[in-house]
Amino acid sequence: MPVDKGTQPANSSQETYDVIVIGGGPMGLATAYYNSKRAAKTLVLEQFTYFNQQGSSAGMSRQFRIPYPDEYMVKMAEDALPYWAELQSHTEEQLLTTVGTLWFGDPAVQSTEGNIAAAELAMQALDVPYTSLTVAQIEEQYHFKDLPENYRGLFQADGASIDLHATQRTLYDCNLASPHVTMLDQSPVIGIEQSDQLFMITTPGGTFVGKKLVIVPGPYINDVINLLKFRIDATYWNMASTYFKKSDPSIQYPTWFVFQEPAGDSGNQFYGFPEVDWDHPGYIRVAPDFVMTPLADPNQASFIPNPQEIAYTVEWVQQHMSGLDPTPHYKSTCLVALSNIPAKEMLIDFAPIYVPNHKSIAMYATGWAAKFVPLLGQILSEMALDGKSSYDISHFQTGHRYFKAM
């Protein structure tokens, strides 16, 4: 039986790792997984415990969907599917439960997700099949009600609910079984020094030496890169989500997102998940997708759901969803970092050129990327080991003008 490298005590090591991954969430575990395939000696440092609920991966489920307003994002979602299939081969737990994706609402509304008309054009350009829907069809086929007459929608059949815990557990177990990967928790990075093209990474439990760095600590990105004297301009948000009990057991929802203008001071964007047997069976999860109370720093997060966000969600469910008891249950939060750089939801790049040895420092930050986890692991592994990615990341690169020197 392999030693649980996730619970080893952290002690200073004289050995040199090929790659040190800072952040043990899905991106960090996926990077280590692909490093191990190339026999690269890898250390993963997680500041909390593995499978924690203190970052952008809180909660059990995430959405996989192909609709995006940009062709390169539609392509990336499609390109991620073979990587999910390969990861699925390592577990009997279902990682993606296919239920389809429904986008609907005011076709003129722009949101953090783009808009419906642009998504249709992007999918048409790449020959992705989907169905256009009238408001009557949305209500009849997908159980929504009392929607404004101008609403329109689209349904794309490949959408799925991601079992995020099973995804992380699969990656963790693969890394645990690998002779090339060491995982340490309770190991926040408090210092980064460089000497002779090597990185000395200091944690409360010791100092570790690596040739390359991959920095993927979720919303805590600036806590780490500040040690390298630069930062990313981001907004932080403690997003609340709520589960609603099905009053009609026969009703099933797809994954969905609604685009609408705000009514008064209430929020305008909501999204939801289907019932799945691994995430509160008999309940439907719904969450708001608008920032009410931004945080200046992720360490200010209380992880207490904002009662006003919950109230807006309850109101929307009561007004527009069928077959649900509008009483909120299992309220929770996740901490989201949103890029303030226009048209740069996800940031995938090397450190800026003014950072010494910058091409040896790969990082991912901000945005919603659970749907890309295995593909991003491959991309970040290639960036670390090869100094480049075979996948086109130009749309996600920031360039030094977007970073802020300190």
Tens-place pLDDT, residues 212-259: 999 999 999 999 999 999 999 888 888 889 999 999 999 999 999 999
- Indicate whether 367 belongs to any domain: yes
Residue 401: domain span: 16-56+165-231+342-405
Residue 341 is predicted with a pLDDT of 81
Judge whether residue 151 has pLDDT over 80: yes
Q: Which of 293, 314, 339 is the last residue of a domain?
A: 339
The verdict on 395 and 250 lying in the same domain is: no
Same domain, 225 and 190: yes
CATH number of the domain that 124 lies in? Answer: 3.30.9.10
Query: For residue 5, is pLDDT > 50?
Result: no
Mean pLDDT along residues 250-274: 85
My answer on whether 183 and 211 are in the same domain is yes
Question: Does residue 78 belong to any structural domain of this protein?
Answer: no
CATH of the domain at 213: 3.50.50.60
Percent of the chain residues past pLDDT 70, beyond the cut: 92
Average pLDDT over residues 190-217: 97
Examine residue 305 and state whether it is found in any structural domain, yes or no. yes
Q: What is the pLDDT of residues 28-87, one digit of tens each?
A: 999 999 999 999 999 999 999 999 887 765 568 899 999 999 999 999 999 999 999 999
Query: Is 80 exceeded by the pLDDT of residue 404?
Result: no
Question: pLDDT band at residue 14, thresholds of 50, 70 and 90?
Answer: confident
* Same-domain check for residues 48 and 174: yes
Answer yes or no: do 121 and 183 share one domain: no
Domain boundary among 320, 339, 358: 339
Domain check: are 211 and 111 in the same one? no
Domain co-membership, 243 together with 317: yes
Distance CA 149, CA 206 (A): 62
Same domain membership, residue 328 and residue 257: yes
The gap between the terminal CA atoms of the chain, to the nearest Å, is 47
Which range is least confidently modeled, 117-131, 184-198, 295-309? 295-309
Q: Whole-model pTM above 0.75?
A: yes
Q: Which of 291, 314, 339 is the last residue of a domain?
A: 339
Residue 259 lies in a domain: yes
**pLDDT at residue 354 is higher than 50:** yes
Please tell me the total count of domains within the chain. Answer: 2
Angle at 305 between CA 300 and CA 309, to 5 degrees: 110
Residue 301: pLDDT above 90? no
